[in-house]
Chains A and B, each alone.
Chain A
Amino acid sequence: MALEITQYLLAAQSPDAKIRTEAESSLGQFRDQNLPGFLLSLSVELSNDGKPTESRRLAGIVLKNSLDAKEIARKENLIQQWVSIDISIKSQIKSFILNTLGSSVSDACHTAAQVIAKIASIEIPRKEWPELIGLLLGNMTQPDIPASLKQATLETLGYVCEEISHHDLVQDEVNAILTAVVQGMNVTEQNPEVRLAATRALYNALDFAQTNFENEMERSYIMKVICDAALAKETEIRQAAFECLVSIVSTYYEVLEPYMQRIFELTSNAVKGDEEAVALQAVEFWSSICDEEMELQDYEVPENGDSSAPHSHFTEKALPTLVPMLLETLLKQDEDQDQDDGTWNLAMAGGTCLCLVARTVGDAVVPLVMPFVEANISNTDWRAREAATYAFGSILEGPSTEKLSPMVNAGLDFLLNAMKDANGHVKDTTAWTLSRIFELLHSPATGFSVITVANLQRILGTLLDSIKDAPHVAEKVCGAIYYIAQGYEDAGTSSSLLTPFLRDIITNLITTADRTDSSDSKLRSSAYETLNEVVRCSNLAETSQMIVELLPVIMSKLEQTSNLQIVSSDDREKQGDLQASLCGVLQVIIQKLSSADETKHIVLQAADQIMVLFLNVFACRSSTVHEEAMLAIGALAYATGPEFGKYMQEFYKYLEMGLQNFEEYQVCAISVGVVGDISRALDDKVLPYCDGIMTLLLKDLSSGELHRSVKPPIFSCFGDIALAIGEHFEKYIGYALPMMQSASEVCAQMDDNDEEMVDYGNQLRRSIFEAYSGILQGFKNSKADLMLPHAPHLLQFIELVANDQHRDESVTKAAVAVLGDLADALGSNIKTMFKDRTFFTELLGECLQSDDEQLKETATWTQGMIGRAFSVCG
């Protein structure tokens, strides 16, 4: 039954696209016509040592992809296909792959290990491959097994453990697997390859080892073996052992206490003297400890002393030695680390960790770091100056403002001078530190800022000088300006302080965005994002003139993008990026100017031209719509109101395209939002487009491909459309209502232990209510009776939600509102439905006692609506 497919597998990797496509289609045909035969052929190919490595590798990959996929629906489908294959063929396939583990070609072994794990993930929970574990363990215990087979077996065990839960096996099997792995890691293991494979297998099996970690003796033994491996002669084994320790921090933090002394010594020695790959993992260990402890602090419930997750304060206890250790790493910079984004070295890891330490312990870090800063910041060696600045910048988040502000006030002038340092790294880090200072210690709205009337001019003068520096410095200067602007948002009168400088700032940001000396687009997009923040946060009354002048400048830049020469896909991408930035700026300007009556007309006057530009941006692409342009169009529709109608005919096809974009779900979500904006802007004038829009929205809802986060906005959008077109929504009732009802049933069955699902469930509930509200209000005057048959289901859903403990306030508001809408629209018809129910009195009572004025107001209204419905005769 197995066919010879080597030629096709090789051809499918040919550099010639034509040959490749043909081979792919032949393989695809084979798969579609005879899946069992296809998989069997692949396994034969993989297991045959006489075949080329390339065809064997691809055979393994195709096999793996025939068993598993990222996308859940597809994965389910693949599993079903596998399960339904004849058992004798499956046995053959499995035996070919298991045999491959003994191959002398390590590449084939490696691929086979992955395939075995995928089959195991399907079959072990179903108890359909009971002999697998025994077979694998046999490879480890029988005498005279070659090291390469042991190695492959350990790798397989690791992958299998990663795929399955320890509940899928009996405890004896679990223990036997871990025993085999841990034995392989032991110092007594002579073969370093086997020991490395065992250490990596343990890394994959850590979750699986849950029961064993609960047992102190077993746990201590595992920890001892890992710590021993962290001192192995081979760098790779040491690195793998530290990776195990890092992973253990997040999985088993609460049992680490007895081992911390030893681990501290190990990490400390590694950071000081080991190879960088190992030292990085040692630093990572402490970063992970901080992550865990910050999370514990975030969720600490003070009134409940015996919380189940104990906080061991490892960071705090290690502080006196940990901080000096990290400070030492800061001096190990690379010469060119600012040039390459991919760089990750010990100095960066150390700085990152120091930052986390500061956030974990707060004030206590300051006295340990400041002597280092003071001793090094004026050093003649740039490394010392940069390290000192980096250290200072790293501890700005965590410690109290009281603790930090004297230091920052005293050091600010020094830092401003350092922007003229001879060394680029020092300037880079100084600019970054300044941006951190303005991010964290400049908040006039809450009463504290290191920026004063006295020093603002000097600060901005320095920054606007330095924005002309090297691109990587300029980029961080943009960050500093960004946070200065942000701090003045909603800062009342003190926001006027920035106004006199804004013209200069805006000019400089545009010049910076136009720079051509940067290798990538990061500086440009930073400059535009900063411009956005400056516009967004400015005091409109004082800056409207500047913003009005900025509008045509940005418009003409956007116009020029369609003249860019596009030869390669790279050019197209660059054009898209630039258009994204400029559409972003336009969106911010539109939103800012339309927020006040005095300036709104500027947007209206320019709307025709702006719309032409957006349509040109859309026209630059054939299959996707530009996300930022879509976002900006939402803002424009909101600003123009009914006037937007004249753009609809041309815009509509792009809207359709956006609503069909399943892959880039953000684009789809934004398009759905724009439908809402347009519905509100056009009211019943949106009607001619509704058939098309509703069809696409319904398709989106039924799609298993579309990211689920887009679905709640679609329901809300139903409400927007219904409210806009009123009685004309009637024709969609037969389609929309069943969707809403089945979604509400999904809500009822949602797993409320999964925090993410609880969140999603709340969004979904709220959006379903919003859909009902829009429809009920839209039908109220003429077609309310249409909703009568659907009312009991809605009422039941409201009741269900009312009784839900996890319901959040926004859901409560929507539920109370829709309850009122129901009574409002259906009047006395609701009497029989409400008669036997009491939940709404409790719900209203709860809301009327709320501190939220909006909620109280809605509840009062709803109460009135229900009262009115009951007071009516008939």
Chain B
Amino acid sequence: MATHELRRPFKRPAISDQQRRREISLQRQAQNRRDAQHQARCLASTILTLQPAQYEPAEPDLQLQSETELIPELEIESQEHRRDLRDIDDVRQASRLKGVEARQWFAKQLMLPEWMIDVPERLNTDWYVFARPAGKRCFVVSSNGTTISRLRNGSMLHRFPSALPSGARTSKSSHSGQSYCILDCIFHEPDQTYYVIDMVCWAGMSLYECTTEFRFFWLNSKLVETGACDAPSSYHKFRFSTVPIYNCDQEGLNAAYTGPVPYVKDGLLFCNKHAHYQSGNTPLILVWKDENCSQYVIDTDSKGQVPNKQQVVLELLFDGKLATSDDPPVIFGCLNEDFIQEV
């Protein structure tokens, strides 16, 4: 019945934080456990998104997309998805997207050129030019110890380890979610190389708001440092490469147009030095093709002969406009509604 045992004589509390140290330790351990499991889940889910295409047709939108190669610009996702994804304006979030959402998001993110139909002002001072490699245009994303490339429609091309920051699970790479990269590339089949034509994010830093001049400078100084341009190895499945970029003076133009490159050329790309990276078609990137710098100007048959008729594949846009399926498309006409009804 000695009740005073219950009352801690409060003027004499011994400071003892052992219990607190235990609790702080437990909190730290719980946090570490969450991080470890979270990381396992992210890795796991990126592996899953690599499932070959036959696993994916259950997604109706994708099926449509692959069948309607002719109308890539036609938006076919549900309204709901569009709203959701539009909210993602932060690349940081985008790098964490998975599956369908990632496809839908990345499908909209590439910066696409317009045809060069006249000579822009100050071409010789404000523009760069380079010979565009022929191949598959894609976004390459490295994060959480893995690298994924996605085609223009957002579908996955490769998942592989790379020497890019956070691009492989090696001891030296930090696994922090902070570190990730998004590169604008062209995958060139013959030498199995990703030619990097622009840099969108590097080691967690977004370059969206940077000028082309800065992005190209950063690209050329950073990419080599990581060893991404080295020959493939077990932690680095594909080689990356920069492309020679020239100022648009006569000498530069000549070098880009006629100079030797280790890849098959597909036209010339002109980039405005002051442009920021923006998704979709932009007049600040222009493409030029002719038979000297691209093999894809005119159709040929299997013997290399030019047939009598050139085929043109046209796209019917939802507002009735007709466009070529060129990259970029050229809009050349408009069908009236009655005609569309009949078709």
Contacts and interface: CB of A to CB of B under 8 A. Distances in A.
A825 to B, nearest CB: 8
A522 B15 CA distance: 8
A289 to B, nearest CB: 13
A770 B33 contact: yes
Contact of B10 (A355, A638, A821, A868): A355
A19 to B, nearest CB: 34
A243 B15 CA distance: 31
B25 interface: yes
Contact of B15 (A352, A482, A631): A482
Interface residues of A, number: 74
A817 B17 contact: no
Chain B interface mostly helix, strand, loop or mixed?
A: helix
Interface in B1-52: 1, 3-4, 7, 9-18, 21-22, 24-26, 28-29, 32-33, 36-37, 40-41, 44-45, 47-48, 51
Given A529-B17, A631-B21, A638-B28, A820 B11 contact: no
Contacts of A719: 33, 37
A608 B25 CA distance: 21
B98 interface: yes
B58 interface: yes
B25 A631 contact: yes
Contact of B25 (A580, A634, A774, A781): A634
Contacts of A529: 15-17
A824 B44 contact: yes
A861 B16 contact: no
A353 to B, nearest CB: 9
Given A631-B22, A677-B29, A817-B37, A525 B45 contact: no
A666 interface: yes
Chain A interface mostly helix, strand, loop or mixed?
A: helix
Given A824-B45, A868-B99, A873 B58 contact: yes
Interface stretch (A184-192, A298-306, A341-349, A403-411): A341-349
Contacts of A281: 3
B32 A638 contact: yes
Nearest to B7: A352
Nearest to B19: A666
A103 interface: no
Contact of B16 (A525, A642, A774, A868): A525
Contacts, number: 136
A100 to B, nearest CB: 24
B29 A243 contact: no
B67 to A, nearest CB: 18
Contact of B18 (A478, A522, A584, A773): A584
Contact of A821 (B16, B41, B59): B41
Given A243-B1, A716-B33, A872-B55, A723 B40 contact: yes
B56 interface: yes
A635 B44 CA distance: 28
B36 A720 contact: yes
Contacts of A673: 25-26, 29
A680 interface: yes
Contact of B11 (A280, A390, A482): A390
A61 to B, nearest CB: 20
Nearest to A397: B10
A834 to B, nearest CB: 16
A533 interface: yes
Nearest to B171: A642
A538 interface: no
B58 A861 contact: no
A824 B46 CA distance: 11
Interface string A808-829: 0000000001001100110000
A584 B21 contact: yes
A341 B36 contact: no
A246 interface: yes
A638 B56 CA distance: 41
B44 A780 contact: yes
B11 A351 contact: yes
A525 B14 contact: yes
B22 A284 contact: no
A676 B22 contact: no
Nearest to A240: B1
B1 A203 contact: yes
Contact of A777 (B9, B24, B32, B41): B41
Contacts of A243: 1, 3
Contact of A781 (B24, B33, B45, B47): B47
Contacts of B28: 591, 635, 638
Contact of A349 (B7, B13, B15): B7
Contacts of B36: 680, 720, 723
A850 B59 CA distance: 28
B13 to A, nearest CB: 8
A287 interface: yes
A634 B29 contact: yes
B58 A872 contact: yes
B39 to A, nearest CB: 9
Contacts of B10: 351-352, 355
B4 A344 contact: yes
A864 interface: yes
A774 B44 CA distance: 12
Interface string A393-405: 1000000000000
User: Which of A533, A642, A871: most chain B Cβ within 10 A?
Assistant: A871
Contacts of A716: 33
Interface in A603-635: 627-628, 631, 634-635
A865 interface: yes
A865 B1 CA distance: 60
Contact of B44 (A344, A676, A777, A872): A777
Nearest to A813: B34
Interface string A777-816: 1101100000000000000000000000000000000000
Interface in A715-736: 716, 719-720, 723
Contacts of A680: 32-33, 36
A479 B45 CA distance: 51
A780 B47 CA distance: 11
Contacts of A820: 41
A404 B8 CA distance: 24
A655 to B, nearest CB: 15
Nearest to B12: A341
Given A676-B29, A861-B45, A723 B37 contact: yes
Q: Which 7 residue pairs are nearest across A and B when measured between Cβ atoms?
A: A871-B58, A777-B40, A344-B4, A529-B15, A526-B15, A284-B3, A529-B17
14 contacts: A243-B1, A281-B3, A341-B12, A343-B9, A529-B16, A533-B17, A677-B29, A719-B33, A774-B37, A777-B41, A825-B44, A861-B45, A871-B59, A873-B58
Given A628-B18, A719-B37, A865-B45, 6 more contacts: A348-B9, A525-B14, A525-B15, A526-B15, A587-B25, A638-B32
